[in-house]
Chains A and B, each alone.
Chain A
């Protein structure tokens, strides 16, 4: 049922662990800046993996994150309400569609800088990525 595939997407979101050199090519299929559904594969994973941001209880966790350039970050919505990941810059550096519970969105940050973002549905939710 829809729910099951959504939970798989959520579980795989947890499984996306970065180990520096391993810019996993198989994740290229997710597409930057677009709807990044994680492809279901067998996975068990710890909670809150490195380079993952969890959206829950109307907050981004961690809200502040510093990463090296070239890092691919994944946001996963574990909340009961839909949320978006929207760049606060003009023009926007990235903007996810509305992510339902369990859905993910990924961005690869190639350029150093400070990226403020927020949820365009619940704009009091904010976060920052610092790319070095």
Chain B
């Protein structure tokens, strides 16, 4: 979990690899082949600084799973690592137009946790949009969260446009069913359909949802029961980027024009799905490794490109 993204494409030969490298370099991703499997490696650190997001790009950052209030062994100081993350954002070559928080702002939904998170995030001086995680809605169905971060729209989901991109913020952490995963519900799905109805298919779409919209690891609850319905509404669009949190690591999946990307958090990492004997909770790593498994993400739309360049930036990069 060092912030590298992995792509499920197969069978890239040498010629394809070179094509990919050229195309990848233009979008901020370097493709390499490792053990026969193509991998997209973020051009983080110095390499990316050499080709920063241009002034004409529309760029913003995703931050996730700050878990303010957490005090476990995996990270006794989530406030400190959040500050590091915000410093990392302040160091970006191109100043982001805004920040998107994909949930689990707090650890236990306590007012003081949400307040501290808000104060820290405000220091970034960025227009910030939030969605709640399941850790934010523990008290009164999310009252303490919505009081502070609630958005227009009576049910908490919303959409907005910026930089020519249409943003859709979904909530899949309420009214969870026994034995289920994340849940959007019929009202929200209906709203999504009507929200997207009049949009041209060439409008780039960015979707925010805390729990992964696709079944990353159903045995761990990592997925959304009715996520597929949302995806079928989205798939007619030429470029859909789904930004998720919840699992505290980067996993990517491509389904036609829809790219799903989960993100690192800034509090603590979690085990990779399928790790023998692991559970989905906080994972303690050696202290010197912690910053390498926490991070933020920069997303940049070049004026001519429909699909964004996505760069995961670990805190130690």
Contact = CB atoms under 8 A, between A and B. Distances in A.
B181 A58 contact: no
A121 B138 contact: yes
Nearest to A122: B221
B132 to A, nearest CB: 12
A70 interface: no
A73 B179 CA distance: 22
Contact of B221 (A79, A100, A124): A124
Contacts of B219: 124
B178 A82 contact: no
Most buried by A among B107, B109, B176, B282: B176
Nearest to B222: A124
B281 A82 contact: no
A82 B108 contact: yes
A2 B181 CA distance: 32
A124 B220 contact: yes
A33 B198 CA distance: 48
B109 A58 contact: no
Interface in B159-188: 176-181
Interface residues of A, number: 24
B221 A80 contact: no
Given A80-B72, A82-B108, A123-B179, A97 B138 contact: yes
A79 to B, nearest CB: 6
Contact of B138 (A3, A82, A88, A123): A82
Given A82-B108, A98-B138, A123 B180 contact: yes
Nearest to B177: A123
Interface string A62-102: 00000000000000000111101000100000000110110
A124 B181 contact: yes
B209 to A, nearest CB: 16
B134 A121 contact: yes
Given A58-B279, A98-B109, A116 B178 contact: yes
**Can you list the 9 inter-chain pairs with the closest CB atoms, starting with the nearest?**
A118-B178, A124-B221, A98-B138, A57-B279, A88-B178, A123-B176, A81-B281, A80-B282, A80-B281
